[in-house]
Chain A
Amino acid sequence: MSGWRHPDLGTEIDRSKPLTAEVDWTKIRGFQGDTLASALLASGPRTIARSFKYHRPRGLYGMGAEEPNALFDITRHGTTIPNERATLTPLTDGLKARAVNASPTAERDRARWLDLLHRTIPAGFYYKTFMAGGWHLYEPRIRAMAGLGRLDPNTNPPADTPTRSATCDLLVIGAGPAGLAAAKAAAEQGRAVWLIEDATYLGGALRWRGGEIDGDDWTDFARATDTAILNSDGRILTNTTAWGAFDHGLIAAWQRRVDHDVHWRIRPAETILATGAVERPLWPAQNDRPGVMSAEAAHHYLTLYGAVAGRQLLIATGSDASYATAAAFAAAGARVTLADARDVSPDAPDGVRVLSRQTLQAVHGKTETWGATLNDQYHSADTVLVSGGFTPSVQLHCQSGGKLDWNAEKDALVPRPGTSHMKVIGAANGTFGLGPALAEGATAAGGLAPDTPDGTNWRWHPARPDIDASGRIWIDLQNDVTLKDVKLAAREGFTSVEHLKRYTTLGMATDQGRTSNFPGLAAMADATGRSIPETGTTTFRPPVRPVPLSVIAGRRRGDLFNPLKRLPLEDAHRAQGAVFREYGGWLRPSAYGEDEAATIQAETKAARDTVAIYDASPLGKLDIIGPGAQALLDFAFYNRLSTLNPGRARYAFLLRESGIVFDDGVVLRPSDDRFVVSASSSHVDAVRLLLEDPRQGRFDPSQVAIHDVTQAWTTLTVTGPRARELLAAVGIDVDVPHMGVAENTWGDAPLRIARISFTGDQSYELSVPLPHGPALHARLDVALNAVDGRWIGLEAVMILRAEKGYIVIGKDTDGLTMPHDLGWGGPRDIRGDEYLGKQSLFTEAAMAADRRQLVGLSTTNVLPTGAHLVPLDGPCRSLGFVTSSYQSPNLGRPIALALLEGGTAMQGAEIGVFHNGDVQRARVTQACTFDPEGERL
């Protein structure tokens, strides 16, 4: 127990609002403004986590997304989110946290014996060892021991994160000194600036380090920036992470709010990146002991939350930055020793013992820290703060294609200017210290450098892992990768950075290698005798830190994921007991009754015995209008349509240029220069665009227009032997020939009657403008009852059309089906003019006799749709498959349609149907099995 709460310090906590949370079933206290990490630190326990592979005791190390250890499953208001970082989790009252990868608790983890086996489980151990008999034999037990948090399968966070789009003149990412200076300078020029900050408050490191800018405290400068941004129509988003840089400058940002989060898609004219840097650790033996912390993080906890990391501190550093940290801890009442790796170092702060030319060789401790060895001398300490310099946070620069250059003077990989669309400033650019950061920020936005007395550029001793050092040294704390693993990878030839990552998993954890990529790279460079730039850098991909999938998905979930189209008459159908299902993006009645299977059979029979009505409104209605209409349709369709007389209708196919059937439907010609294309209901949009292609690219678009009026009309189809009788009762003129179309009126409503049939019985498609739909529905319903007819759903229609061998595109055809495979070879053999797909119908493959062709199948049972057809003798291979299969109440037996290799020539033959390992027999028939002469039409 070492951490404690200072009685006075803490600029960002509200001591009048105490909070209580529960960590591994132990109560901890904190204040409004705390993070879970700061509350844990102030509460004292050191071992708060277990490591990923060896189950080593681990403590808090960092302060943000770089935290490798303090991962918890967090439960708030009954919802559990796994693997949250304590450093990024605001403390809330009643929050429950459970350490990941530990059971029952991090302190008393049952799997801690695994660490004793560390010599036998180096990198690659699992790959090399668990091969005999197959990995799957071992996987369940290994997975149960490894891994991170627990996902509650019942977790279903609400889809309450809206996505909002925005543009601005300048986007500044990061509100530390450099970002503030850039944003202020740009806003003062009148540019609309958006400033995004990960933390709750502006200031970056100024928040804990403090500083004087333009003669006043830095907070005045931050307030002036705030005012300048708001005055120039800009915006400040705090608690917001810019998590991804995408094509054409798009920045995705996740804003965390109390009520609901917001996902921003920002398209700035210009972007400035000021995302700061992450402190590097040091690499003594046992550097993973609880009580070893980033010096910068400890400084941050001290100032912002009054959470003091320990009472007896050893600060091991080679960096100017640590002197202010040492001073702050001494002032807070801790005993502080600062061990600098350098020979010459700045003056010792008050109350700090400074030792120079010190190398931190080992940390001593187990579940807590007892001391450390410096230059072979033991020093007692309850906390070891480390600083090995800083690594610029360049993720967004690299995500947008930016390159890095090694800069030996800055001891860092820094952005190469001009390789991404962003300007990178401040610590992210390797520019450290308040004065230089302010100057670089202001200059990037065309302003003048603010004045500050703190003009020093931080310097540090370039610290690296010593590949000859003894003891266990961790490079990647989160994925438990040691220096030994890196050396093993080098020996085994995995020397490129990408191979190193994949072999050892270095840098592949959810901290994305923030503290481990650099030392891993440096160690590999050393082990292979290369320089850091020769060894290379890894690729950065979004997101820069874990983002909940619910944020990215936004509201596109559940009913809003892929909204269905609804029938205007839906309520009327529901009132009649309709069951609704999705058909091609539309919600339509499948049957009118609860017992669906029986109802479907009864509806199918009624449609043949008396009369039935179904809602065919989704059927496509593309108006093709103008003097150029017939030329366009002749080219676009496989069947010639210019020869269609006004008042008539024709069944026709649309092909792709590949000759494959794309859609079928009836084309009506109500008058000389107007056609109506009844595209399949699920294909209307695609057919419209397919027709637009030649309209715009081949013909004079001023001569023909295409209007999709599908959803402006209600279409009810009356079908059956008593259809005429019913319509006569309603007062609708039925004097329309088969394949004829007439435009009349019904009362004061325009009425289009098309006598075309998808059922094989006399059918009348009645179309009225939407407002007249309910009246037509109500009138037909009365008449329907009088002749003992029924409303029927789509399932009955499917059986009726299958009895007739009528196809559904995409169900009875596939990506190879050409019109002659369906018995429609006529136009190909007759037409001499050009049309879509023509050339493809004459290739060798298109002319082959063994193409899959549409047939019917006769059996004693209902065949499974999709079952393959196989030869009854000889080697088993697929000759095709069942496309549609139903029990026909009108024929009193099962019916099926199939695509069968050479099927046209196989009428009457027997074929095998393969399903679940069994082969049964079926007889090949014509596709049409009901009223083949068409006498009922």
Chain B
Amino acid sequence: MQTFPCPFCGPRDETEFHFAVEADHPRPENAPSDLEWAAYLYAVDAPQGPAREIWLHIPCGEYFVMSRNTRTRDVTASEALR
């Protein structure tokens, strides 16, 4: 059971969180091609090692950016969206 830091609530059990999306993958707009759109929806990097991800803390409903290492499971940073 990992502990994740919500920027608003502090450290909480991982069961309170949902992974939302990988960070730094902006939504393509203005009629992207099917390929661009499919890449946005399905082509995730899923890196082994350092990762920047958007997570949701369900009890407070806030989305935030978490930096963590998917191999060591170390959490290195957690920041509000803005």
A contact residues vs B (CB 8 Å cutoff): 246-248, 250, 265, 267, 657-658, 688-689, 692-693, 696-697, 701, 706, 834, 839-840, 843-844
Contacts and interface: CB of A to CB of B under 8 A. Distances in A.
26 contacts: A247-B14, A247-B73, A248-B1, A248-B2, A248-B3, A248-B73, A250-B1, A267-B3, A657-B27, A658-B41, A688-B61, A689-B18, A692-B63, A693-B20, A693-B63, A696-B62, A696-B82, A697-B54, A697-B81, A701-B82, A839-B32, A839-B37, A840-B37, A840-B41, A843-B34, A844-B34
Contacts of A248: 1-3, 73
Contacts of B2: 247-248
A131 to B, nearest CB: 40
Contacts of B38: 843
A360 B4 CA distance: 56
The 7 A-B residue pairs whose C-beta atoms are closest, nearest first, are A247-B2, A839-B37, A250-B1, A248-B3, A248-B2, A696-B63, A692-B61
Interface string B36-71: 011001000000000000101010011100000000
B29 interface: yes
A267 B11 CA distance: 12
A688 B56 CA distance: 12
Given A247-B1, A247-B2, A689-B56, A834 B29 contact: yes
Contact of B58 (A247, A689, A697, A843): A689
A920 B2 CA distance: 54
Contacts of B61: 688-689, 692, 706
Given A247-B1, A247-B2, A248-B2, A697 B63 contact: yes
Contacts of B81: 696-697
Question: Which of B27, B54, B61 counts the most A-chain CB atoms under 10 A from its CB?
Answer: B61
Nearest to A698: B27
Interface in B1-38: 1-3, 14, 18, 20, 27-29, 31-32, 34, 37-38
A834 B29 CA distance: 8
Given A696-B63, A834-B29, 19 more contacts: A247-B1, A248-B1, A248-B3, A248-B73, A250-B1, A657-B41, A688-B61, A689-B18, A689-B56, A689-B61, A692-B61, A692-B62, A696-B62, A696-B81, A701-B82, A706-B61, A840-B41, A843-B34, A843-B37
A332 B29 CA distance: 87
B74 to A, nearest CB: 9
Nearest to B74: A248
A207 B1 CA distance: 35
A911 B29 CA distance: 42
Contacts of A688: 61
B23 to A, nearest CB: 11
Contacts of B56: 689, 692-693
A677 to B, nearest CB: 15
Question: Which of A250, A834, A839 counts the most B-chain CB atoms under 10 A from its CB?
Answer: A839
Contacts of B28: 839
A500 B32 CA distance: 55
A697 B62 CA distance: 10
Interface of B: 1-3, 14, 18, 20, 27-29, 31-32, 34, 37-38, 41, 54, 56, 58, 61-63, 73, 81-82
Contacts of A247: 1-2, 14, 73
B29 A265 contact: no
Contacts of B31: 839
Contacts of B29: 834
Nearest to B34: A843
Nearest to B31: A839
A834 B20 CA distance: 20
Question: Which of B1, B28, B32 counts the most A-chain CB atoms under 10 A from its CB?
Answer: B1
A840 B38 CA distance: 9
B75 to A, nearest CB: 8
A697 B24 CA distance: 12
Nearest to A834: B29
Nearest to B28: A839
Contacts of B73: 247-248
A336 B11 CA distance: 60
Contacts of B34: 843-844
Nearest to B73: A247
A87 B42 CA distance: 54
Contacts of A657: 27, 41
Contact of A246 (B1, B37, B54, B62): B1
A247 B20 CA distance: 21
A449 to B, nearest CB: 34
A688 B62 CA distance: 11
A322 to B, nearest CB: 42
Contacts of A706: 61
Contacts of B63: 692-693, 696-697
Nearest to B63: A696
B55 to A, nearest CB: 12
A246 B54 CA distance: 24
Nearest to B80: A696
A706 B31 CA distance: 29
A889 B58 CA distance: 44
A588 B62 CA distance: 31
Contacts of A658: 41
A436 B32 CA distance: 70
B54 to A, nearest CB: 8
A834 B31 CA distance: 9
A801 B2 CA distance: 45
Contacts of A843: 34, 37-38
A1 to B, nearest CB: 50
B29 to A, nearest CB: 6
B67 to A, nearest CB: 15
B68 to A, nearest CB: 11
B69 to A, nearest CB: 12
Contacts of B32: 839
A701 B80 CA distance: 12
A844 B18 CA distance: 31
B81 to A, nearest CB: 5
Question: Which of A658, A689, A843, A844 counts the most B-chain CB atoms under 10 A from its CB?
Answer: A689
A779 B74 CA distance: 60
Contacts of A692: 56, 61-63
A706 B41 CA distance: 26
Nearest to B38: A843
Contacts of A840: 37, 41
B18 to A, nearest CB: 8
A933 B37 CA distance: 40
Contacts of A693: 20, 56, 63
A247 B69 CA distance: 13
B5 to A, nearest CB: 11
A689 B58 CA distance: 8
A834 B18 CA distance: 25
A267 B12 CA distance: 12
A144 B2 CA distance: 42
A804 B51 CA distance: 50
Nearest to A252: B1
A206 to B, nearest CB: 34
B20 to A, nearest CB: 7
A583 to B, nearest CB: 22
Contacts of B1: 246-248, 250, 265
Contacts of A696: 62-63, 81-82
Nearest to B18: A689
Question: Which of A265, A693, A706 counts the most B-chain CB atoms under 10 A from its CB?
Answer: A693
